[in-house]
Amino acid sequence: MAHPSQLGLQDAASPVMEELLHFHDHALMIVFLISTLVFYIILAMMTTKMTDKYILDAQEIEIVWTLLPAIVLILVALPSLRILYLIDEVENPHLTIKAMGHQWYWSYEYTDYEELSFDSYMTPLQDLNPGQFRLLETDHRMVIPMESLIRVLISAEDVLHSWAVPALGVKMDAVPGRLNQITFMISRPGLYYGQCSEICGANHSFMPIVLEAIPLDPFEDWSSSMLEEA
């Protein structure tokens, strides 16, 4: 999760998010260089002698300020398109989970093998234990096995919602009557937090998402225990 007053991206927990972090660094370096150039041009303009007020054309400078932006755009577009196609790679996921948005909670269904489903409500402030995070904790986490390709089918039962987990680089709208699909793989175990990302009413800020990534054996134990409780 984000630490207090964090401005930058969260640490990556999936390969796609790692690529997005690297692309963000690359784009930031280009922005820095362009800003340096612009600041220098502004400074240089303050000391000009204004002797070229009546020039009618300047082929060389026109070529330069056409080619340079084109090169900059190519430098940004190529890595961007590479990541875009990387995200859309089609592979067979190991597990499919349905995430349904409601006002104002998420429900998860694990229906690959048995019928396992549960709701995930935000833990209210008064029920938090010491060390837990305000507005981020839930009563039931979405538990998934790490290092496995997971497919999440996202939809909504009432109004628009959006299922987002920044550390994994995933965000997808939950649209009533529509099934949206995302796939991701979590590289390391841990807890990953997200929040609803589409305005959906009074408690839009109070329906968080918590992913718990664990190895496969504990995941199987968890799913067995959840089925026994149900």
Partner 1 sequence: MANEGETEKNKTFKLLGILDVQNIPCARDSVLYGSAGSLVAGLGYFLATSRIKRSFDFGVGGFILTTLGSWIYCRYSNAKARVQQKLIQERMKNKLIYEGTVLDPTRKPNSSSPDIYIFFK
Residues making contact with partner 1 (CB under 8 A): 1, 3-6, 8, 22, 25-26, 28-33, 35-37, 40, 44, 47, 75
78: nearest Cα among 39, 119, 30:
30
The answer to whether 197 touches 162, Cβ cutoff 8 Å, is yes
List CB contacts of 174: < 8 A, sequence separation 6 or more: 99, 100, 101, 154, 155, 156, 160, 161, 162, 163, 180, 198
> How far is the C-alpha of 139 from the C-alpha of 122, rounded, in Å?
6
When the beta carbons of 127 and 147 are compared against partner 1, the nearer one is 147
State in angstroms the smallest separation of the CB of 74 from partner 1: 12
State in angstroms the smallest separation of the CB of 70 from partner 1: 15
State in angstroms the smallest separation of the CB of 16 from partner 1: 14
State in angstroms the smallest separation of the CB of 28 from partner 1: 6
Which regions of 29-174 does DSSP assign to beta strands (E)? 95-102, 105-110, 116-120, 142-145, 149-156, 161-165, 170-174
When the beta carbons of 52 and 228 are compared against partner 1, the nearer one is 52
When the beta carbons of 5 and 59 are compared against partner 1, the nearer one is 5
When the beta carbons of 63 and 179 are compared against partner 1, the nearer one is 63
219: nearest Cα among 128, 150, 121:
150
When the beta carbons of 135 and 226 are compared against partner 1, the nearer one is 135
State in angstroms the smallest separation of the CB of 177 from partner 1: 39
CA distances from 186 to 172, 173, 219, 230 (A): 17, 20, 14, 27
